[in-house]
Structure 1
Amino acid sequence: MRSLVLVPALLLAACGDVAPLKPAAGQALPVKPALAKVTPDAEDLLRPTVMAAPERVDELVTRSLPREADRFDLPPPDGGASPPAPAAEAEGEDEQPTRVGEPE
């Protein structure tokens, strides 16, 4: 029973990368792109671009800030008035914003 599991695992491990990639016999690498300085090799072609694999950004929100006035916040199309601005924006614009999780 144990050998039935080990043999396929060893065969699978043996088929790993043993040499650098090369084009198939009789085939060539793609032609040089028009604006490239050099023709890319197999490693360059296999490396994903920044657009294909972007870096992850783990930026956490460190403070809570009131939203800025939006000049494109238009009234409803039926002609009604837009909602009034919150009182906090009109009164305390010169105050420092309160940070979340920090004692005052």
Structure 2
Amino acid sequence: MMRHTRHSIVLLALVALAACGQQADLKPVAGAELPPAPYGSERQLTAEELLERDTLAEPERSVELRRRSETREDDPFDLPPE
């Protein structure tokens, strides 16, 4: 009996936590404004545009898999401990 009660409490807590997500559009807090327009821009950016990451902030991964074994070049900085 106690086990079922614990499972119910955990399940209820997870459902309540999942319901906390906000689905509305982002807006500035009452009395606050969005940051000023960037220098040279003719218009102020929206909240969604301000949240978009620049490509330098989130670069694409470029992972090239090796297709065959290759000998490593000598690394002059790979020194043994003193």
Asked whether the two chains share a fold, i.e. TM above 0.5, the reply is yes
Larger RCO, structures 1/2 (Cα 8 Å, 6+ apart): 1
| 1:38 CA drift (Å) | 2.4
Q: 2:11 aligns with which of 6, 23, 47?
A: 6
Deviation at 1:61, TM superposition (A): 5.0
* CA–CA separation in structure 1 for the residues paired with 2:66 and 2:39: 43
Number of residues paired by the alignment?
A: 64
Q: 1:56 aligns with which of 55, 61, 64?
A: 61
Query: 5+ residue gaps in structure 2?
Result: 1-5, 71-82
- 2:45 corresponds in structure 1 to 40
Hey, what's the Cα distance between the residues in 2 that align with 1:18 and 1:33? 28
Q: Deviations over 1:51-91 (max 9, x none)?
A: 11101112345687xxxxxxxxxxxxxxxxxxxxxxxxxxx
Cα distance in structure 2, aligned partners of 1:16 and 1:61: 42
Q: TM-score, normalised by structure 2?
A: 0.66
Q: Separation in 2 of the partners of 1:61 and 1:55?
A: 19
- Bigger share in helix: 2
RMSD after superposition: 1.9
Q: 1:21 aligns with which of 26, 32, 36?
A: 26
With the length of structure 1 as denominator, give the TM-score of the two structures: 0.54
